[in-house]
Every structure is written in structure tokens, then in C-alpha cells.
Amino acid sequence: MTHTKQVENLFGPDVERYFTNKQTGGNSNQKGSRYEDFFSVMQLAQLFQLLTNDDREDIEIYAQAEAFVDDLLIKYQKHNTQHHFQLKTSPTVNWGNGLKSIGDDFYKQKVLNDNLGIDITRTILVCSDKEKAARLQKKVPQNIADFADIIFFPEVDTINHLLLIHDEFKVLISHICFSNDIDKLEALAKLILGHWVDKKTTLTSVNGLLSTLENVFPNYLARSNIAVNLLPEVERIFSTITHFSFKIEKGYFSWRYHDFDSGTIPYSVDSTEFIAFQQEIASKCPRQFDELEGILL
């Protein structure tokens, strides 16, 4: 449902025209910038973790939303909360004054959301300059201070570069990836990016995007709340192989032999493939690592 009538009633026809033009400009640039897309991947990684809880919130996400603060919108429907993000890479970014300024957009977004019955509104300025972000944080206008915030997010050319220089991004991706290897983290982040870029003009459900990812590439995402014990015979076999150890983490089976060889079985422990893997070990009953290695690989 369009909000233009509420905007006109609240702020007058000049602001309504500005609001409408923002939507037109946003739609014409819907192909989006790399900066916005990379930031969206980080937000999705964080939201995917919320979806693994018992309380599966109905979370929606919008690129170029119908809003004053419109680059990215996340709606937490259960808690009637909206987080609005404005992303800026310009070195001259500032809060400004009056119509079309960031400060005024943030203020009007809160007034509009209050009018629409939204319980909690957060407006977040995302800035690619760390020092600039720190200065802007100290100068947040008083009329938006209670609901506005600033996030630093670096501008880079590649996902790999982002993983190398931005710890928060790396940590969030590692939480949802079955492996902490940098190449696996990069592959998963690129997978999320590709699906986001492809679907962001029509996507609303975060859970829907996660389900698509699980269907297309199920063995890259960490699995939570999986309590699977190995078959007793398999555990016994592993215990007899010198210098061999294993662990089940994030729903996947990882192994190590001495300090120079290790790996992760590329399907989750609750899969039919893992059952077949255990049955093969029980059937062949390897007594040393050389015999086990062929099954692991």
C-alpha cells in the first residue's frame, strides 16, 4: 500500500512530490550499487541467524523501499519494528538541514512510521569513511538522536577483500557457514549476493531467501539444533585409529589426522548421505587411517 497520501497529509504537497520522486529515482537505479549489495549480504547473514531460533520471526527486507530512508528496509513484523538504512560513500556526507537532507529524511521517516502505527523505528546512516562516521556520530541532530544511528561499512571491489578487511562481515558469514575456511566463506557470501541481486526487486521474505539458498546449495549453510550421534560401531572404529579425531559442529562432521591432514564431510549429519557414509565405515571397518582416508575423501 502506498504511503503518498499519508505523506501529503503530514507534510504537504511539496514533501509529497519529493517523496514520490525518491521512489522513481530508486526504481530507476534498481540495478543497485555494489556497496549497497555487499551491505545487504551482511544484513542477510545476521537475519539468517535470527531465523534459526525457535521464535521464527516474520522478517521482511526491501531494497529501495517506499520511504524517506529507502536504501534498505528491514521489517520485524512480530515486534512491529522497522530498521531503515541510508548508505553513503561520498566523503562530503553530512546531516544537513531542511528538505532533502539526511537529518530531515530521518525525522520525517519517524513521523511517518508513527502515523502508520509502527511501534519502534530505527534509522541508520551507513558510511564508508570510518573517521567521517565517527564525526557524524558526535553530531547527530537532537530531534533524531533517540532513534538514529551510524554504522561504518567499508567500500571495496570484491567479497574477498571485504572478508579480509572487515571483521564483522567475516564473523557474520562464518556463523552461517558450515566451515570457517576463507574460500568457503567467500563462496557462501557470493551465493547470497547472487541470489539477493537476482531477487531484490521482488523479494520480501528473509526466510524465503534462506529457503531458496538451502534448496539450491544445501551443504554450505550451517545447521543449528541438530543433535545426531554417530552409530556406536562407527564411534568404536574411530577410537581405534591412532591420531584421528573428529567433531560435529554446525551440523557437519569434521575430522583431523595428526596436525597435517583435516577435512569436513560436505553434507550435514542429518542427511541420507551421512547415514550412507557411516554405513560404509561400519561395513569396511578400517583399522588405520590409510584405510579410512578413501572413505573420508
Q: What is the pLDDT of residue 287?
A: 92
Q: What is the pLDDT of residue 57?
A: 65
User: What are the per-10-residue average pLDDT scores of the chain (297 residues)?
Assistant: 82 87 62 85 93 70 93 93 96 92 97 96 97 95 97 96 97 91 93 93 89 81 76 92 89 88 86 91 92 89
Cα dihedral 121, 127, 152, 48 sign: positive
Q: What is the pLDDT of residue 52?
A: 61
Q: What is the pLDDT of residue 245?
A: 92
Q: How far is CA 106 from CA 40, 71, 102, 109, 141, in A?
A: 20, 12, 6, 5, 10
Q: What is the pLDDT of residue 55?
A: 53
Q: What is the pLDDT of residue 28?
A: 42
CB 249 within 8 A of CB 202: no
Neighbouring residues of 168: CB distance < 8 A, sequence distance ≥ 6: 42
The gap between the terminal CA atoms of the chain, to the nearest Å, is: 54
DSSP code string of 237-281:
HHHHSTTEEEEEETTEEEEEETTTEEEE-SS-TTSHHHHHHHHHH
Tell me the pTM: 0.82
Q: What is the pLDDT of residue 2?
A: 78
DSSP code string of 192-235:
HHHHHHHHTTT--BHHHHHHHHHHHSTTSB---S---PPPHHHH
